[in-house]
Amino acid sequence: MAAEVIYGSELAQSMRDEMKNEVLDLREKGIIPGLTVILIGDDPASKSYVLGKQRASEYVGVESDLITLPDSTSEEELLSLINELNNKEEVHGILVQLPLPAHINEQKVIETITPEKDVDGFHPINIGRMMTGKDTFFPCTPYGIIQMLKSKDIKIEGKHAVIIGRSNIVGKPVGQLLLNENATVTYCHSRTNDMEKYINQADILIVAVGMEHFINGDYIKDGAVVIDVGVNRTKEGTLTGDVEFESAKEKASFITPVPKGVGPMTITMLLHNTIKSAKIHNGVNS
Ligand code: GUN
């Protein structure tokens, strides 16, 4: 059986079109959703992500402000900038592009962004809200994955979801969101023994390790749903995922490609969170 490919790019486009209309309505009420992105240093991958965020913001009508700072920026300077943005009424979302230079404490930065503007959903308060099943800003990549599953009516409840990777940005929160949807969740990581054993039991397999073709079709269960979060640059300069697409496609029932898979959904959920924040800040319901 060859899997159906879930193109996140298509879902992202239709969600962005809906958001565009929603933002038009908000603008008529005098509400302009505002996002400020802070980029430190000149890592090419980070620059390219940030550019994608700027373009998508413009498309849906979110006012996006990019602040670029040199590698030499001190932690103190960054924290004071965040505090300024926390107090700016027209800013509804603050995103500091990760990773940060080594001399800046990432966790301190995350905790300085007020939870009310934490559109990444990385603040411990928002993580706690997610863990206790409350509504909040959910981390964008995990939230996008849930949307992709739902867009194909893929049943999550009662299914065994196996997550490969335990990062704070993807692995841990996607497991939590799947648990909130009543999946049974297993986390695998670099210290897991006999990982194949778990991969083989996965109804939903989420791979987020950042290693080119870490998984191939061999151990994937027939009919599994395979979500590839990896974005790796090949020797030839093209992008590829953590899953060897062609062999995995033969086993899976659904599979996401790289590119055009999860990536576009991450940015889309960031816009969703920013619009949600603008509505909350202005007392607009739903
Ligand atoms: N770097 C890679 N992914 C992300 C993300 O989702 N948010 C932020 N702030 N930085 C990232």
Ligand 1 centre to CA of 192 (Å) is 25
With a 6 A CB cut-off, is 40 part of the ligand 1 pocket?
no
Question: Tokens 């799947």 label which residue?
Answer: 178
pLDDT band at 1 (very low <50, low <70, confident <90, very high): confident
With a 6 A CB cut-off, is 226 part of the ligand 1 pocket?
no
**For residues 91-113, average pLDDT:** 98
* H or E segment to which residue 46 belongs: helix 44-60
Residues belonging to the active site: 53, 97, 120
* Cis before 264 (ω within 30): no
- Ligand 1 atom 11: residue of nearest CA: 98
pLDDT band at 103 (very low <50, low <70, confident <90, very high): very high
**For residues 215-230, average pLDDT:** 97
| Pocket perturbation via mutation, ligand 1, pick of 49, 66, 126, 269 by most ligand atoms within 8 A of CB | 49
Amino acid at 195: M
Please give the number of the atom of ligand 1 that sits closest to the Cα of 96.
9
d(CA 217, CA 262): 19
Q: What are phi and psi of 285, to 5 degrees?
A: -80, 145
- The yes-or-no verdict on residue 260 having pLDDT over 80 is yes
- The yes-or-no verdict on residue 29 having pLDDT over 90 is yes
Ligand 1 centre to CA of 134 (Å) is 22
Please give the number of the atom of ligand 1 that sits closest to the Cα of 99.
1
With a 6 A CB cut-off, is 95 part of the ligand 1 pocket?
yes
Identify the pLDDT of residue 285. 84
With a 6 A CB cut-off, is 32 part of the ligand 1 pocket?
no
d(CA 261, CA 239): 12
SS3 11: helix
CB 56 within 8 A of CB 35: no
**Nearest C-alpha neighbor of 61 from the set 118, 94, 23:** 23
**For residues 210-218, average pLDDT:** 97
d(CA 123, CA 113): 7
SS3 110: helix
Are the folds of 31-114 and 140-263 the same? yes
Extract the tokens encoding 235: 């020797």
Report the CATH number of the 31-114 domain: 3.40.50.10860
Instruction: Check whether 129 is labelled as a binding-site residue.
Output: no
Strands (E), the chain: 4-5, 34-40, 63-69, 93-96, 160-164, 184-188, 204-207, 225-228, 232-233, 239-240, 254-255
**For residues 20-27, average pLDDT:** 98
Please give the number of the atom of ligand 1 that sits closest to the Cα of 141.
6
With a 6 A CB cut-off, is 110 part of the ligand 1 pocket?
no
Buried b (16+ CB within 10 A) or exposed e, 146-180: bbbbebeebebeebbbbbbbbbebbbbbbbbbbeb
Percent over 70 (pLDDT), the chain = 100
d(CA 267, CA 270): 5
Question: Tokens 């397999």 label which residue?
Answer: 205
SS3 66: strand
**For residues 69-79, average pLDDT:** 98
Q: What is the dihedral of CA 109, 263, 203, 6, to 10 degrees?
A: 160
* H or E segment to which residue 144 belongs: helix 140-151
- CA 178 from chain centre, in angstroms, equals 14
**For residues 34-52, average pLDDT:** 95
Instruction: Check whether 167 is labelled as a binding-site residue.
Output: yes
Domain locations along the chain? 31-114, 140-263
The pLDDT tens digits of the residues spanning 114-166 come to 999 999 999 999 999 999 999 999 999 999 999 999 999 999 999 999 999 99
The pLDDT tens digits of the residues spanning 227-254 come to 999 999 999 999 999 999 999 999 999 9
- The yes-or-no verdict on residue 286 having pLDDT over 80 is no
Report the predicted TM-score, pTM, of the whole model to 2 decimal places.
Answer: 0.97
Report the CATH number of the 140-263 domain: 3.40.50.720
Identify the pLDDT of residue 215. 96
Residue 88: how many CB atoms within 10 A of its CB?
13
The pLDDT tens digits of the residues spanning 187-205 come to 999 999 999 999 999 999 9
With a 6 A CB cut-off, is 215 part of the ligand 1 pocket?
no
